[in-house]
Structure 1
Amino acid sequence: MRILITGGTGQVGTHLREEATKCGWDAVAPGRDELDLMNLQDPKALDLAGIDGVINAAAFTGVDAAESEEAAARQLNAVAPGILAEACARAGVPLVHYSTDYVFDGSSKDPYTEESQTSPLGVYGATKLDGEKAVASAGGTHAILRLSWVFSAQGRNFVKTMLRLAAAHGGVRVVDDQYGRPTPAWSAAIAGLQVFEALLVEPEKAGIYHFSGDKTVTWAEFAKEIFEAAGLKIPVTPIPTSDFPTPASRPAFSVMDCAKIHEVFGIPMADWRKELQLVIKELGPVEEWTS
């Protein structure tokens, strides 16, 4: 099995490479000098000879930065996924593409299903939604996995931000009126590989799927869980979103219903608190990865 992994150095991509290799697969994860998604415009320029499929974990994930860098966000989140999907369709191989809970506006009182109305609040969510549409319209075998609040020991994420702020200030003020479900990047990678493998033999299972952790929390509650897992007694001051203005609006409620992925593929929701312990152990002392 030979798969192409884009975004192979990111949070999910790192685990995709590692876990695919453990499965005995040949995981091809080209760097930007080999495959520059920021300048990818023609599916014919993408040679998938000898590739059994593609998993796209590349994305412009800066929610606030996307507001001022819309062209870059659109290229990476919408244009490139469409080109990848067209190339996969031409080659007759499946594509697994990661998306986000930020395609929703947060006005629902119930967890969002795959059929729920999308209405992104900002450029990031809008470009990710356009990417979903581009992937689907390419006509090939594909699965779109929407994730939420991803964390890991790699890259930039809320867990590392909280630990860094706590070390620097001894206390944090965190938004307490936005609700979601944290998703461990490792679990997201495993889910992506399972879905990919299933599509190889059951292409009729193509479609959109939600995947996340199991427990719903606010960002402030998540912060408390992080400090507890790290054995730190750090005061967390809950604040409303209005006290923490940002360039991009966030959904107040982005909890996703993950029943479909379990019903179709047998993939359960992730135990994010258990994996949080593993991530914190992997990170080690804050001063070792912030110096």
Structure 2
Amino acid sequence: MKTILVTGANGQLGNSIRLLAGKYSGYNFLFTDVDTLDITDPAAVRAVVKDNGVNYILNCAAYTAVDKAEDDEALCRRINTFAVGVLGKAAHEAGAKMIHVSTDYVFSGTNCRPYVETDATRPVSAYGRTKLAGEEILQEVCPDAVIIRTAWLYSEFGNNFVKTVLRLGKERDELGFVFDQIGTPTYAGDLAAAILTVVDSGERDAFVPGIYHFSDEGVCSWYDFTVKILEVAGIECRVRPIETKDYPTKAVRPPYSVLNKKKIKETYGIVIPHWEESLRVCMEKL
């Protein structure tokens, strides 16, 4: 039986993988988080990988506080860059494969068409810079790695945009959200399923290392996303479209970060649902 090490297991994606693990009875899942494994400690990581005969590492751990990262880029880099290298080296030394989750924030957001994997990267935030550096170090130390860039992640777990909108919609009569940042929401359950499909491909000798893009299908703004969340929930609350310049944040966000998913769909045969469909699936669980 093959063993899968999952880092960041208590986060949105880690919990979503945990939910699906029962459907993959041919694997032994080892779920870890910051309290059980320090992924910045090379000796500790090597020991866990070696002692458990790990065949796959799924790195779901990340520093995702985008605005706080502007004031503490060193900590952000330790988790999003250094730790990725630690995991990658341990995987390579053990002959294991690694799947790492990255972000649309590696792009500047100046495109006018969906980003493909070969488009030039130009992060405009500390978070984006550390995630891009994590991609680069992983490719250096672990040739047998798949990097999946995703965007606008939400789920029934933890704190996220969907839950925030639901709470605010019940508390206020009017909300304002930006309409000039365009992307695609991604349900963590869909990303988890895609990751496990990639793992399964390794057992059929169809594992193809490289960078891939994954989000749900469709395109919207944060304003559009908010309106749909409240509509599905049946909450009456007026939503006012605002410009990014009217809602200043410490970190710059890409104004356009739609991802082209053709490569992952064709390589791994993944069928991706529309974001509105997945939103309803998620909200039924809340």
Taking structure 1 as the reference length, the TM-score comes to 0.93
**Contact 1:78 / 1:134 at 8 angstroms: preserved in 2?**
yes
What's the CA shift string for 1:133-152, capped at 9, x where partnerless?
11111133110001010110
Q: Is the 8 A contact 1:43 1:83 kept in 2?
A: no
Whole-Å separation in 1 of the counterparts to 2:33 and 2:256? 35
Deviations 1:80-105 (A, max 9, x none): 01110110000001000000001000
- What is the identity, as a one-letter code, of the residue corresponding to 1:71? A
Is there any run of 5+ residues in structure 1 with no aligned partner, and where? 284-291
Deviation sequence 1:195-236 (CA, Å, 0-9, x none): 122134436611000000111000000001111111122211
In structure 2, the residue matched to 1:35 is 37
Runs of 5+ unmatched residues, structure 2:
none
Amino acid at match of 2:77: R
Q: Structure 1 residue 43: deviation in Å?
A: 7.7
Paired AA for residue 232 in structure 1: I
* Structure 1 runs, 4 residues or longer, greater than 6 Å off: none
Which residue in the other structure is 1:207 paired with?
A: 210
Query: Secondary structure of 1:256's partner?
Result: coil
What is the percent sequence identity of the aligned residues? 38
Whole-Å Cα distance in 2 between the matches of residues 126 and 270 of structure 1? 30
> What is the CA–CA distance in structure 2 between the aligned matches of 1:253 and 1:42, rounded to whole Å?
40
Q: Is the 8 A contact 1:86 1:140 kept in 2?
A: no
Residue 18 of structure 1 corresponds to 19
When residues 92 and 171 of structure 1 are mapped into structure 2, their CA distance, relative to the original with a 3 A threshold, is: same
Distance in 2, Cα, partners of 1:59 & 1:270: 25
- TM-superposed CA distance for 1:62, in Å, is 0.8
Q: Aligned pair count?
A: 282
Secondary structure of the residue that 1:205 maps to in structure 2?
A: coil
- Equivalent in the alignment of 1:238: 241
CA RMSD of aligned residues (A): 1.5
TM-score by length of 2: 0.94
Alignment of 1:257 onto 2:278: no
Give the alignment partner of residue 104 of structure 2, picking from 95, 101, 104: 101
Q: Which residue of 2 aligns with 1:288?
A: none
**Is this contact kept in 2: 1:92–1:140, CA < 8 A?**
no
* 1:1-36 CA-partner distances (Å, limit 9, x unpaired): 321000111111101122123211221112323211
